Structure 1
Amino acid sequence: MPARPCCFPDRLTVGAVALVALLSQPTVAHAQSRGAATPPATAAPSAAPPASPALGGAARWADSVRLLAERGYLSGDTTLLVAGYRLAQRSLTAFPDDPLLLHYRGYIRYRQAQQQRDFDTALPLFEESVALLERSVATRPLPETHALLASAFGSMIGDSMLRGIRFGMKASDAEDKAVALAPRNPRVLMLRAVSAWYKPAAFGGGEEKARTLLQQALQAFSADAPARPLPAWGRAEAYAWLGQMEAKAGNREAARAAYDQALALAPAFAWVQYVLKPQLERTR
């Protein structure tokens, strides 16, 4: 079976500190909302593309958490994940029960759980992720939130038959809701592919189904352009999973090409750079 993302070393770089500081600064839109003076606007060059609409309120903070979460996950920098979690926590005091802030806080706990070396350490993080995601989906049922719930519930089963009875139906129910909302959503398709890869064919999984779903996810990612601050994670990760599937099938060149594509999309993708590619080279 392919490796799950885990066990990246802690790395707090100057760039990480600068990013946290930058995302903590008020934007022009935020300053305007508080009545603060702002510098006069300057004319943009006529050839420049139109700027993205400025975000304000909870959306601005959710977008900052989104950036910290994704950069922290991809780089394996646990300090960025912690910074994103704390920023979401502080933002929720001003915007209680905001669904996107809850989504990204739950997403961060989900990623932190994946990085643990043992199941007993990961389990409480998955449990907290589920609690946050359930609060989010109760207010705004995003397909990605349901898909993350399905993956978290599945991960909480481990090798326990009792937990399988407890969480298996919840995982299936969450996946069904994600599919009902957005069957062609690339993040939904990718997480379904991962679930199918680990699930026996007798229970609706299997490698063939996983490959089909992942190819559908990659096709959907090619046209994926969610507006900020909606979830936009997953494209580089999908190529990481494709590489593992190709490697298991003995297609080394195809696996290497998939890993290279993941790094082209996310050059700092630590899971691919430090785990998956070296693992591929060792299996010659």
Structure 2
Amino acid sequence: MLKQIVTITSVFLLLLGLFPVQSEVRDDSAAKTFLETKTKLDSAITNGDKQELIAAKNNFEGFIPNHEYSMLANYYIAYANYRLSSLFSDIPEDRKEQYLNASIKKLEKVTEMDPTFAEGWALLGNCYGMKATGMISGMRYGPKSENAIKKALALVPQNPRVTMINGISLMYKPAMFGGSIEKAIKTFKKARDYFGQWSSSSEPYPDWGEAENYAWLAQAYIEQERLALAKEAYQTALQIDPDYYWVKEVLLPELQQKME
């Protein structure tokens, strides 16, 4: 009789939403671990910590079977590979190429999983652009890069990371195809404004790039020999992220040498 009362009471509480459901506990645990891994990934990029970055990337692999997090896990693995292909000078060039190819493969999967995910299209477009290093590769990857970025802009035209990546594309795209430093600067300034207004739809989604946008703006100013404005942009990046390795240890020292 007592067992029946307990069972009936449990069912009643469950219907009211007062009884803890085991699957929800597991989901909460997964959400917490996912956010912790994302934080470690962001920290590794900020601090230029290659081993921490690789560890965070490997941890995201464990989320791929989880339907709720699979797409984002693939995105962050691709994002980590993208950073490994471009951030560290001590990685051999052939290994960097492997990381870039792995990033493209993952991002192509991400955009298949969710064709409305603008962040995936934008980063894919950026990675395609990095492959366009010569005439033949430019003919192959240039249109792919442009199409991917256009898809991202059409989906969320005021997304700051999408806009920033479009600015990077305009910096490196030949003038005959619409690229220019002045257009890039205007685009980075748009991204700056969008960062001030943007909030991610939920915590697991991407929120990186505000300090990086100033780093790219500075590099565009350097192309125009506007070194004082470039220094100001780098300093703003460090105000946003004081430990930003790429600016603090690489870009700003290079600029200071130019200004001496």
Q: What is the TM-score of this pair, normalised by structure 1?
A: 0.76
SS at match of 1:184: coil
1:66 matched to 2:38? The reply is yes
Q: 2:121–2:151: 8 Å Cα contact kept in structure 1?
A: yes
Query: 1-side partners of 2:22 and 2:243: how far apart?
Result: 31
Aligned to 2:56: 84
Question: 2:159 matched to 1:185?
Answer: yes
Of 271, 280, 284, which residue of structure 1 is paired with 2:246? 271
Report the alpha carbon displacement of residue 32 of structure 1 after superposing the two structures with TM: 6.6
Question: Are 2:123 and 1:131 aligned?
Answer: no
Which residue in 2 is equivalent to 1:255?
A: 230
Whichever of the two has the greater Rg, that structure is 2
| Larger RCO (alpha carbons 8 Å, 6+ apart) | 1
Residue 170, structure 1, aligned to residue 119, structure 2: no
- Residue 63 of structure 1: CA displacement? 2.5
SS in 2 for 1:56: helix
Q: Which residue of 2 aligns with 1:243?
A: 218
Which deviates more from structure 2 when the two are superposed, residues 72-81 or residues 251-260?
251-260
For residue 249 of structure 1, report the CA deviation from its aligned partner: 2.5
What amino acid is aligned across from residue 241 of structure 2 in structure 1? A
1:112 aligns with 2:84: yes
For each residue in 1:74-115, what CA deviation from the matched residue of structure 2 results, as whole angstroms up to 9, or x when unmatched?
211111211111110122244487111111111101111113
- Supply the RMSD in Å over aligned alpha carbons: 2.3
When residues 63 and 134 of structure 1 are mapped into structure 2, their CA distance, relative to the original with a 3 A threshold, is: farther
Q: Distance in 1 between matches of 2:254 and 2:239?
A: 19
Structure 2: distance between partners of 1:60 and 1:206: 43
Q: Contact (CA 8 Å) 2:63, 2:70: kept in 1 or not?
A: no
Mapped to 2, the partners of 1:251 and 1:163 lie a distance apart of 31
Q: State the shift of 1:170 in Å.
A: 1.5
Whether the 8 Å CA contact 2:214–2:236 is kept in 1: the answer is yes
Q: Aligned equivalents of 1:157 and 1:214: distance in 2?
A: 21
Greater helix proportion:
2
1:247-280 Cα shifts (integer Å, max 9, x gaps): 3323333222211111111111111111111111
Within the alignment, does 1:224 sit opposite 2:198 as a pair?
A: yes
* Identity across the alignment (%): 31
Deviation at 1:165, TM superposition (A): 2.5
Give the alignment partner of residue 149 of structure 1, picking from 124, 128, 151.
Answer: 124
Measure, in 2, the Cα distance between the counterparts of 1:196 and 1:217: 13
C-alpha offsets along residues 122-143 of structure 1, whole Å, 9 cap, x if unaligned? 2221111111112222222311
Residues 30 and 56, structure 1, Cα contact 8 Å, conserved in 2: no
Aligned length: 235
Q: Give the Cα–Cα distance (whole angstroms) in 1 for the partners of residues 56 and 145 of structure 2.
A: 26
**Equivalence map 1:198-213=2 (5 Å):** 198-213=172-187
d(CA) in 1 for partners of 2:167 and 2:238?
20
The residue type paired with residue 82 of structure 2 is Y
Q: Paired residue for 1:194?
A: 168
TM-score normalised by L of structure 2:
0.83
Structure 2 CA distance for partners of 1:176 and 1:57, relative to 1, 3 Å:
farther
Query: Structure 1 pair 138/32, CA: closer, same or farther in 2 (3 Å)?
Result: closer
The unaligned stretches of length 5 or more in structure 1 are 1-28, 35-54
1:234 equivalent in structure 2: 209
Q: How far is the alpha carbon of 1:30 from its aligned partner?
A: 9.4
Q: Deviations over 1:170-210 (max 9, x none)?
A: 11221111011011110001011011101111112111111
